[in-house]
Amino acid sequence: MTLVTADLAMSLDGFVAGTDVSLDNPGGHGGEPLFHWIHDLASWRERQGMTGGEENRDSDIMREWFDATGAVVMGRLMYDTGEKPWGDNPPFRAPVFVLTHRPAPSLVKQGGTSFTFVTDGIHSALEQAKAAAGGRNVDIAGGARTVQQFLRAGLVDELQLHVIPVLLGGGLRLFDHIGPDQRKLEVIRVVDTPRATHLKYRVLA
């Protein structure tokens, strides 16, 4: 069954990026501690076309996400900032649907990644992503504003947060503008490592 997931690294104080996020600085000022944990994981390196790296529980969790994800939805800023670093063989290896107001022709990359630009909103993007996911999950990859739109619309089934042991003191909050409706969660799994506490929840009604 295709689930809709969102999976982000977050500081204990709730930030998924630093301050002043922009095209030139997608992680934001001060956001570095959020992104260190993945760089030397074997599963991450593998998807970047590199060998080696650490095999540990963090790496397993990252690999699990790669294996489970059959299609991806992201916002336009995330695409614009990722396009160059992802290169000709992006790490997704799955169809990616980019929310945008500017129509653009689809792009087919190596390794199974394609980018389709969706101009008619989140429901359309999700429908297309589900159809393309081959029974695997659709992940709402980011950025924060995109995840917030899906949370607000009640469209996220599972939420995984990699809670990084740091207080950033400021930045881009994940849980902002998610609407006034309370949503109960159910813990699926908690995995604690020195790098992060990985909290996985089912979003209930």
Burial class (CB in 10 A: 0-12, 13-18, 19+), 120: exposed
Cα angle at 138 between 122 and 20, to 5 degrees? 60
Residue with tokens 């944990």: 37
Is 17 or 98 the residue whose CB approaches a second copy more closely? 17
CB of 175 to a second copy, least distance (A): 3
Binding site for a second copy (CB under 8 A): 12-14, 30, 33, 151, 159, 161, 163, 165-170, 173-175, 178-187, 190, 192, 194, 197, 199, 201, 203
On whether the CB atoms of residues 33 and 21 are closer than 8 A, the answer is no
Closest CB to a second copy among residues 94, 199: 199
Cβ proximity to a second copy: between 113 and 148 the closer is 148
| CB closer to a second copy out of 116 and 148 | 148
Beta carbon of residue 141, minimum distance to a second copy (angstroms, whole number): 19
CB of 178 to a second copy, least distance (A): 6
> Which is closer to a second copy, CB of 30 or CB of 90?
30
Task: Give burial (CB, 10 Å; 0-12/13-18/19+) of 44.
Answer: buried
Minimum distance from CB of 45 to a second copy (Å)?
25
158: closest CA among 96, 200, 205? Answer: 200
Q: How far is the CB of 60 from a second copy (least distance, A)?
A: 17
Quote the CA–CA distance of 142 and 74 in Å, as a whole number. Answer: 5
Amino acid at site 103: P
The three-point CA angle 190-191-197 to 5° equals: 90
Instruction: Give the shortest CB-88-to-a second copy separation in angstroms.
Output: 36
Residue (50 or 190) nearer to a second copy, CB: 190
Instruction: State how far the Cα of 153 lies from the Cα of 181, in Å rounded to an integer.
Output: 10
